[in-house]
Amino acid sequence: MALVTLCPGCSTTFRVNAAQLQAHGGDVRCGCCQRIFNGFATLITVNESAIEYTSQIQLYTFSTTEIAAENQIIPGSSDNEVETHVIPELNQETAETTETSAPLFGDEKPDRQWYVKWGSVNALLALFLISQIAYNYRTELTIIAPEIRPRLERLCEFLSCTVPYPQEISLIGIESSELQKNPAQQPEVATMYATIHNYAPFPQVWPALQLSLLDAREELIASRIFTAQDYLQETDKSLPFIQPQQEIEVRLDFDSDRVDALGYRLLLLYP
């Protein structure tokens, strides 16, 4: 690091050293405007690489009366007393602006090839980031923009992954349900009929059905969860999902011979 001081008269900056400043309490003379000032008052440190110097600081001899005329305060002096002091004069040839900073790329400016290289790296990083987002949130993206599902599925073929369908259970409801028994033909078999409706504007995974049988006091007797393969009709089992705004009839047959149920509760859920 180098010591640099600033002339308050002409705002020129000079390199100084500790010996010059300590010799006379910091008093120096500007080589540009000849003003005497205290170098400690505006002393700063800068990096050596940021300053170039063409010559050394010269010494200038003057009396304390010159200092008094310039600074107007000389501690311990009188009108009859004249002392000779050697005060360093800061040569203008050594002045360098401290605002100059070390070049970022040395003496050579970055060429076009450098910009092309870093531009390509940034483009690849941005593409990688977009791919990561698309992979981690591929299902959410199909909810926001259902038309991009085919593109995501093609991308997943390359990455050996799948694009799951959404599972928003709050957007699927049971329109109606009914539990029936036929004592005359099959007294041990009960059948549950229900209508499921997908209110979402996008396709969804088939939900599971939880059927709970209740007694006369509405206490739980038995409960079972049925998957789509259990309650879908044969013609509907090939469908991988329930379409947007689709309504479908389902049927559940189960053995109720050992269960004397007087009520039931039917819920939709995603396991």
pLDDT value for 244: 92
205 against 148, higher pLDDT = 205
Boundaries of domain holding 253: 169-269
CA distances from 106 to 52, 102, 103, 110 (A): 15, 8, 5, 10
Is 107 contained in some domain?
Answer: no
Q: How far apart are the C-alpha atoms of 229 and 209, rounded to whole Å?
A: 11
* pLDDT tens readout for residues 27-69: 888 878 888 888 788 777 776 666 555 334 443 434 444 544 4
* pLDDT tens readout for residues 213-237: 888 888 898 899 999 988 888 888 8
Is 34 contained in some domain?
Answer: yes
* pLDDT tens readout for residues 152-184: 888 888 878 888 889 999 999 999 999 887 766
Is 101 contained in some domain?
Answer: no
Domain count, the chain: 3
- 173 and 155 belong to one structural domain: no
- The percent of residues above 70 in pLDDT, for the chain, comes to 74
Is 210 contained in some domain?
Answer: yes
CA dihedral over 94, 99, 105, 109, signed as positive or negative? negative
- 80 and 117 belong to one structural domain: no
- The percent of residues above 90 in pLDDT, for the chain, comes to 17
Is 102 contained in some domain?
Answer: no
pLDDT value for 141: 84
- 14 and 59 belong to one structural domain: yes
pLDDT value for 252: 86
* pLDDT tens readout for residues 116-127: 888 888 888 888
pLDDT value for 110: 62
Q: How far apart are the C-alpha atoms of 98 and 121, rounded to whole Å?
A: 36
CATH number at residue 229: 2.70.50.60
- 28 and 79 belong to one structural domain: yes
* 172 CB neighbour count, 10 Å cutoff: 20
* pLDDT tens readout for residues 250-267: 888 887 777 777 889 999
Helix (H, G, I), strand (E, B) or coil at 16: strand
